[in-house]
Structure 1
Amino acid sequence: MAQLMKTSNPALNSQVFRREYSGVGDTMTLEGTVNKTGILLLCTMATAAWAWHAFMQTRSAATVLPYLWIGLIGGFVVALVVTFKKTWAPVGAPVYALLEGLALGSISSVLELRFPGIAIESVALTFGTLLVLLLVYRTGIIRVTDKFRLGVIAATGGIALFYLAEIALGFFGIHFNSINGSGIVGIGFSVFVVIIAALNLVLDFDFVESGVTAGAPKYMEWYGAFGLMVTLVWLYLEIFRLLTKTRSN
């Protein structure tokens, strides 16, 4: 089973590279993937800044509520389309980044009023985590073994199932107050989720490297960058959630 799964990120898994790539023309490169990741980050920051500015003009959550829902729903739909139609990644990935920027900017700006400085702290911690894990991956301190891969995949799947169950049970008035609260249990859970989200970055690095080695087609640079963005968005939100808990406490 370990050989069938390269990463728990639904956008990046080893099945992408299980076909023959002979005669595809230009192939995926590490530099190209890095450059395209940078473009997606700029797209995200641009629309996040737009939503942030819109909120700060009125200081009303109602102002950015449409941006929030457009970003969340639109981003989810586009992510599904790109995941199942990888050749659309050159267009879908930037659209996903722009939509997620709207959602992140809306959430961040509203909570910034309650917790001043929390947005920049979350951004700094997210990019700091990205750089540190990239360094330890490139130096071989962390190696993506089968056991490591399956452990991260299992933990990520468990978190996803918990979140789905929490949403479903919420309709029946059942809530996990201790986990969502700012107590020791709630903070401990968020720390665990942040660690798992961060470790997914290592699997994503390994996926991109595998794609370059396999000679994947050029459009996979956009797909690899898209997959990294999916993980970075998740990591940012979990770090943001952790910081709100510590601030509340």
Structure 2
Amino acid sequence: MAFNSKNPFLSNKRFSSNAVSRAEEVHEAKIIDYNQEMTLSGTINKTAILFLILCGSAMVTWWMAFNGMNIMIPAIGGAIVGFVLVLISAFKPNLSPYLAPGYALFEGLFIGGISAIFEAMYPGIVINAVGATLVTFLVCLGLYKFRIVKVTEQFKSVVIAATLAIATYYLISWIVSMFINYQPVHHGNSMMSIGISIFVIVIAALNLFLDFDQIEKGVEQRMPKFMEWYGAMGLMVTLVWLYIEFLRLLSKFASRD
């Protein structure tokens, strides 16, 4: 599974050896009727579809929030269902054509809700977070495409280890705060908290390189067509994580004014 600060997700972003072997087994056994193979253009198209679904779904809770409706149930429910769908997809990548759109739909409810909450507190923050996420994505894509940043095995190990460390820290902080009056160091707007947010954003951005690399390798290995949805879903998970972290960082700066 994979992790983000609010709704942790981790390993679905990568074509793990387990996922790849399962996909190859399904493809070779011809259990499902996917005669075509994974392509880069197909993965890009699927990513665009998921992005549109997520944005459309986010507009629902956004509209509800600014019309005085209760958004907590759809937002929290969307986060939980989205998390479950990611977990299922991690073990059953052949179901990604069905699970990925569902993830985008339900995660959009969560994104719309949390965005509306931040926007109400700090007007203008959402457009800045969206812009920062888009710029980060494009910069990382350019660095990867022109091989300025190369995804080596050592690079993967460092990024995965850092991501797991962040996930573990968030999880432990959340559990501890449930039982005692404890405010994790990444909360608040202290310089330490801001520094942690910047570090997390850097690691989230580095995960984009892993996503690009795994999608490219999936195309080279001629994976079955359904892996386009799997790769697109993983990329969306990373972008959602990155966007939420930008929201958190910008809110810390805004609260210091």
**TM-score normalised per structure 2:** 0.89
Partner of 1:42: 52
Match of 1:102 among 84, 105, 109: 109
Partner of 2:38: 28
Partner of 1:84: 91
Partner of 2:170: 163
Structure 2 portions without partners, runs of 5+? 1-8
CA contact (8 A) 1:9 1:200 kept: no
Match of 1:137 among 140, 144, 147: 144
Map 1:203-214 onto structure 2 (within 5 A): 203-214=210-221
CA contact (8 A) 1:9 1:204 kept: no
Partner of 1:5: none
Count of residue pairs brought into register by the alignment: 239
SS in 2 for 1:171: helix
Aligned-pair CA distance for 1:224: 0.4
Partner of 1:13: 15
CA contact (8 A) 2:53 2:104 kept: yes
Larger deviation, residues 104-113 vs 208-217: 104-113
Q: Deviations over 1:88-121 (max 9, x none)?
A: 1011000000101100100111221110000111
CA contact (8 A) 1:149 1:203 kept: yes
- Name the CA distance, whole Å, in 1 between partners of 2:226 and 2:240: 21
Partner of 1:114: 121
CA contact (8 A) 2:57 2:108 kept: yes
Q: Deviations over 1:205-230 (max 9, x none)?
A: 00000000000000000000001011
Partner of 2:64: 54
- Name the CA distance, whole Å, in 2 between partners of 1:113 and 1:26: 47
- Name the CA distance, whole Å, in 1 between partners of 2:182 and 2:40: 44
- Name the CA distance, whole Å, in 2 between partners of 1:56 and 1:176: 30
Q: Deviations over 1:179-238 (max 9, x none)?
A: 212011000000000000010000000000000000000000000000101111111111
Q: Which runs of 4+ in 1 moved over 2 A?
A: 16-25, 174-179
Partner of 2:154: 147
SS in 1 for 2:66: helix
**RMSD in angstroms over aligned alpha carbons?**
1.5
Aligned-pair CA distance for 1:177: 4.3
**TM-score normalised per structure 1:** 0.92
**Aligned residue identity for 2:241:** W
- Name the CA distance, whole Å, in 2 between partners of 1:178 and 1:207: 33
Aligned-pair CA distance for 1:166: 0.5
Larger deviation, residues 12-21 vs 219-228: 12-21
Aligned-pair CA distance for 1:13: 3.0
- Name the CA distance, whole Å, in 1 between partners of 2:188 and 2:61: 27
SS in 2 for 1:182: coil
- Name the CA distance, whole Å, in 2 between partners of 1:209 and 1:174: 46
Structure 1 portions without partners, runs of 5+? 1-7
Partner of 2:195: 188
**Aligned residue identity for 2:91:** F
